[in-house]
Structure 1
Amino acid sequence: MQLPDIQLACSTLATALGSHLQQHKIEQPLIIGIRTGGVWIAERLHQQLQPQEPLYSVDISFYRDDFTRHGLHPEVKGSELPDTIEDRHVVLVDDVIMSGRTVRAAINELFDYGRPASITLVALFDIGRRELPIQPDVCAARLTLNDGQLIKLSGPEPLAISLL
C-alpha cells in the first residue's frame, strides 16, 4: 500500500477543518492535540487557522484503560490545558484514529477541565479498526491496512509517516 503524502494530507485536513468550523459556525475554538503525534498535526492546523487562543495539548497517560496492563508510558509530559474549557468549542486532534481508546481517554481528561460546548474530533488518518463507537468529524484520509500493519508518525521536523 502506498501511503499518502504527509504534507498534502495536512493541507487537506486544514482545509476540511476550516470548512467544518465555518459550516457549524464555530469561531475561535480551542485546538488541543493529543500527545505526541496529534500535537504535531495540531501545530500545523494552528499555524494555518491562526486562532487567537494558543495551542494546547493533552497527555492521556493517566487516563488509559490499559494502564494496569502496560504501566505508565516512560515519557509522560503532562497536559497543557486552560484552567477551564467550560462552554468552549474544542478541536481535539490526533494523528491516527484506530480503536477509539486514545480519543476516549483524551475526552475523559478534557471533562476534568469542564464541560465543553462541543468537541470536534480531527484525525489525519482513520484506520477504522474500532473497538469503541468513536468517529472523526474531520479526517484527511481513511486507510485500509492489512492485519497487523500499523502507521507510525515521526517528527515533528520533518514530519513523516511509515508503515510498520
Structure 2
Amino acid sequence: MSARTVLQEADITRALTRIAHEILESNRGADGLVLLGIPTRGVTLADRLGAIVSGIAQTEIPVGSLDITLFRDDLSRHPTRAPKRTEIPEDGIDGRTVVLVDDVLFSGRSIRAALDAIQSVGRPSVVRLAILVDRGHRELPIRPDFVGKNIPSARTERVNVRLRELDGADEVTIES
C-alpha cells in the first residue's frame, strides 16, 4: 500500500484555528457553547479546538466526549471496540449549542449514531458538526457545519489521521 501525506502539522493547526473562528462567528460568541469529541481522535481534536476557542474568546469553553459505540447501526457486522467514557461537562448540554467534533466524515453513520447518543444525555438547543477531513461518499443526509479540509478520495482508499497526543505526530495520509 502506498500512502501520501495530504495534511501536515501546520496544516492541521491552521485548519483547527479557522474552525475555531468559524464556530465563534456562527455562535455569535462563546455563550452556551459546548464541544463534544467523538472517540478516539475526535476527543483530542475537541480538546485542541476548545483550547483555541477559549483563547480567542477569553473564556473557558466546556469540552467533553460522547461515546457512540452502542448507538452504531453496524454492531452486528463489525467487531465492537470497548466503549469509551462519555464525559459531559458539569453544566450539561440542555439548551446549549453543542458542536460535535470528529476527525473524518465518510458515510455519515458515526454522526447519526452521535445524534442518537446526544439524546440519551440531554437536549441541546442546537447541534453543529466540526470535522477535520471530509472525504465525501455520504450514505446519509449529513453535512458538516465546519470543515478543516475537503479531501476527495476513492471509496477504496483509507484516510488516516494521526495526532501527536495519540500517535506521536500530526498528519493526515491517504492509503490506496
What is the identity, as a one-letter code, of the residue corresponding to 2:142? Answer: I
Q: Secondary structure of 2:98's match?
A: strand
Runs of 4+ in 1 over 6 A off after TM superposition: none
Give the CA deviation at 1:26: 4.6
Paired position in structure 2 for 1:17:
20
Write the distance in 2 (CA, Å) between the matches of 1:6 and 1:97.
19
* Gap runs ≥5 in structure 1: none
Give the CA deviation at 1:86: 1.2
1:2-151 → structure 2 map (5 Å cutoff): 2-28=5-31, 29-50=33-54, 51-73=59-81, 75-82=82-89, 84-151=92-159
Q: TM-score, normalised by structure 1?
A: 0.88
Paired position in structure 1 for 2:162:
154
Q: Secondary structure of 1:65's match?
A: coil
C-alpha change, 1:6 and 1:134, in structure 2 (3 Å) is farther
Q: Secondary structure of 1:113's match?
A: coil
Write the distance in 1 (CA, Å) between the matches of 2:114 and 2:122.
13
Q: Note if contact 1:13-1:138 (Cα within 8 Å) is conserved in structure 2.
A: no
- Identity score, percent: 31
What is the identity, as a one-letter code, of the residue corresponding to 2:173? Answer: S
Instruction: Output the aligned Cα RMSD.
Output: 1.9
Give the CA deviation at 1:138: 0.5
Structure with greater contact order relative to length (CA < 8 Å, sep ≥ 6): 2
C-alpha change, 1:104 and 1:123, in structure 2 (3 Å) is same
Q: Note if contact 2:106-2:138 (Cα within 8 Å) is conserved in structure 1.
A: yes
Write the distance in 2 (CA, Å) between the matches of 1:106 and 1:43.
18
Q: Note if contact 1:32-1:90 (Cα within 8 Å) is conserved in structure 2.
A: yes
Q: TM-score, normalised by structure 2?
A: 0.83
* Gap runs ≥5 in structure 2: none
C-alpha change, 1:131 and 1:44, in structure 2 (3 Å) is same
Q: Secondary structure of 2:6's match?
A: coil
Write the distance in 1 (CA, Å) between the matches of 2:153 and 2:79.
28
